[in-house]
Amino acid sequence: MNRTPSVTKRKTAIFLHKSLHGNRFAQVALIVLLWLAGEAVSRGTGLPIPGSVLGLFALLYLLITGTIRLSTMRRGANVLLADMLLFFVPAVLAVLDHSEFLGLVGLKVLAVIFAGTLMVMCMTALAVDVGYRLMLRMESRHAVS
Amino acid sequence: MPSLETILITVFWSAATIAIYLLSKRTYRRWPAIWSSPLVLTPVLLAALALSLHTTYSEYIGATRWLMAILGPVTVAFAIPIYEQRAMIMRYWPVLAFGIVVGSGTAILTAWALASLLSIDGTLRLSLLPRSVSSPFAMAISEKVGGVPDLTALFVVITGVAGAALGEKLLRILPLKSSLARGALFGMGAHGAGVAKANQIGAEEGSVAGLVMVLVGLVNVLAAPILAYILR
């Protein structure tokens, strides 16, 4: 046997690239297939992780191992990601069932969201900025010693 | 067999939703502002149409639920931006992880504390918890912790609009030295709408925000069973 796993992987990558690249719908179809497989695994094993997230990890694994190239999938993924709003906007109409949001409850919810978001943004930005400076300082110390 | 009426209602509301969405995108291109963004315009126009036709939410969602099934493949597609930013993850993962943990913790704690303070409780309070997470992830988390996923989608949209509007003003006040912090502010605080805003500020801020948004979603979905356990 002169066929090492990496050769097989490269051949798969080339085969997938040739058959999928340039065809957005085929790329979307492969993504849908990974989603369905993820759902099947999630339901079959009873894992507390949604099938779509398992599908995400599967695609990420295929990309990292080089079985699928980024250029093979990029356009298909962008078709789905660019119009994400269309796919969850129906749920937003749930507001129709909640006339109480027109009164005090609505104002309270808005207050929670605005104040909460302000705090989340401040805390995150400050944490990342402090962490970033700390990391740079540690790296420069390493470089000196 | 579904009745002819059901089929007609499904076709009508699906077509109306897609048409209003496309119209909102075009309107935003012509007059770009937060209040004319598709995030605001699409639900407002759809709600106006539903109210004028006396359509209830259960009728509407029955006709358009298939659109929401596509959120599954959308979630899988998020693997692409993660892989594209792998260099940034390798370089800055400790800082990103720190920011995501602090941000997610703040989001859940402030939602819980502020809601309790204003005597909001029950499923409404639970539905508010994942509001800082991108909607496909947020709806999954909401279901897990006992909230109403559809209400969470509404709160996610309001958070996006609020965060995109507040973020720019915050940038003028906070002494942020790195584009990493400026991007994380938008990706954590305002998910999709924040990423769009961060892209207007700078390409680097935009890619940080996009990556943070996806990672926050993933981390929160994986942590949701623990959160559900604590809340029980």
Interface of B with A in 58-117 (CB under 8 A): 58, 60-61, 64-65, 67-68, 70-84, 86, 92, 94-96, 98-99, 102-103, 106-107, 110-111, 114-115
Q: Is the pLDDT of residue B14 over 70?
A: yes
Contacts of A53 in chain B (CB under 8 A): 75, 137, 140, 218, 221-222
Residues B85 and B193 in one domain: yes
**B224 and B131 part of one domain:** yes
Residue ranges making up the domain that contains B40: 4-69
Same domain, B120 and B11: no
Query: What is the interface pTM, i.e. ipTM, of the complex?
Result: 0.90
Last residue of a domain, one of B28, B49, B69: B69
Structural domain total, chain B? 2
Residues 158-177 of B with CB under 8 A from A: 158-159, 162-163, 166-167, 170, 174-177
Tell me: do B43 and B87 sit in the same domain. no
pLDDT in tens, B82-105: 999 999 999 999 999 999 999 999
- Among candidate residues B41, B69, B97, the one where a domain is terminated: B69
Long-range residue pairs from B177-181, CB within 8 A, at least 24 positions apart, any chain = B177/A129, B177/A132, B177/A133, B178/A128, B178/A129, B178/A132, B178/A133, B179/B204, B179/B205, B179/B208, B180/A128, B180/A129, B180/A132, B180/B92, B180/B95, B180/B96, B180/B208, B181/A125, B181/A126, B181/A128, B181/A129, B181/A132, B181/B99
Q: Are residues B23 and B105 in the same domain?
A: no
Say yes or no: B105 and B139 in one domain: yes
Asked if residue A89 has pLDDT above 60, the reply is: yes
- The per-residue pLDDT for A16 is 78
B65 and B81, same domain (yes or no): no
Give the pLDDT mean for B142-155: 93
- A 120-139 → B contacts, CB under 8 A: 120-129, 131-133, 135
Across the interface, do A132 and B181 touch by the CB < 8 Å criterion? yes
- Looking at the structure, tell me whether residues B112 and B183 fall in a common domain: yes
Minimal Cα distance from B86: which residue of A? A64
Check if A98 contacts B (Cβ < 8 Å): yes
Report the alpha-carbon distance of residue B36 to residue B24 in Å, rounded.
8
Q: Judge whether residue A1 has pLDDT over 60.
A: no
Clarify whether residues B51 and B155 are in a common domain: no
Q: Which residues of chain B lie closer than 8 angstroms to A38, CB-CB?
A: 76
Tell me, yes or no, whether B64 and B102 share the same domain: no
What is the residue-averaged pLDDT of chain A?
Answer: 88
Q: Quick: pLDDT tens for A90-133.
A: 989 999 888 888 889 999 999 999 999 999 999 999 999 999 99
Residue B177: band (very low, low, confident or very high) from pLDDT cuts 50, 70, 90? confident
Tell me, yes or no, whether B38 and B120 share the same domain: no
Pairwise CA distance, residues B137 & A98, whole Å: 23
**Which of the listed residues B69, B92, B115 is the one where a domain comes to its end?**
B69
Do residues B100 and B30 share a domain? no
